[in-house]
Amino acid sequence: MKKKKWIRIVSIYSIIYTVITLLNSVLYLCNGIYEDPSGNWHELDRAMILLIGIAAFELCTNLPVKPLVLRYLIAYIPSQLLAFAYVWFSGLREPLAKTAYRDIWINFTGLFVLLCFINTLVYVFKKKRGQEGKGKKE
C-alpha cells in the first residue's frame, strides 16, 4: 500500500477512536460516573474492536464486487463475527456485562453502517463527477 493510504487509514482510525472515547467519557460524566468502571482494558478492547472494523472496511472498499451492498456484506459478516469472538475471548479475562453481545452488535453495526454510508456518498460523488467531466470534453 502507498504511504498516502496508510496515513488515511491511521487518521480515520485515530479520529474515530478519539471521538468514541470522548463521547463515552462525556456520557459517563453526565451519569455521575467519574471513572471508567472497566478501566484500561475497556480502552484496549475499544481499540481492538475499532481496528477490526476499520481493517474490514478498508478491505471491503477495495473488493472488485458489485453492487456496493454486496461488497459491504462480504466485509461486515466476518468482521462482526470476529468482533463477537473478541468479546467472547475478553470474557475469559473478566466477566462480561449481560448486554455485551448486544452492545457490540449495536456499536459495531452502527459505525460500520455510518462508514458505508459515507463511502457510498463518496463513490456516487466521484462517479457523478467523472461523468460530468466526460460530458464536458465531448
Q: Which three cell numbers stand for residue 64?
A: 472488485
Number of domain units in the chain: 1
Residue 97 contacts by C-beta under 8 Å, 6 or more apart in sequence?
103
pTM: 0.77
Domain that holds residue 76: 40-137
**Residue 8 belongs to a domain:** no
The pLDDT of residue 136: 55
* CA distance linking residue 124 with residue 126, whole number of Å: 5
**Residue 113 belongs to a domain:** yes
The pLDDT of residue 79: 92
The pLDDT of residue 137: 52
**Residue 82 belongs to a domain:** yes
The pLDDT of residue 98: 92
**Residue 109 belongs to a domain:** yes
**Residue 86 belongs to a domain:** yes
* CA distance linking residue 90 with residue 48, whole number of Å: 11
The pLDDT of residue 128: 85
The pLDDT of residue 34: 85
The pLDDT of residue 47: 92
**Residue 46 belongs to a domain:** yes
Task: Work out the angle between the directed axes of helices 39-61 and 3-30 (0-180°, nearest 10).
Answer: 140
The pLDDT of residue 134: 63
**Residue 26 belongs to a domain:** no
* CA distance linking residue 133 with residue 131, whole number of Å: 5
- pLDDT < 70 stretches in the chain: 1, 132-138
**Residue 23 belongs to a domain:** no
- As a 3-state breakdown, the chain gives helix, strand, coil percent values, each rounded to 5, of 85, 0, 15
Report the sign of the C-alpha dihedral through residues 126, 9, 93, 26, in that order. Answer: negative
Instruction: Render pLDDT for 36-46 as a digit per residue (tens, 0 to 9).
Output: 777 788 888 88
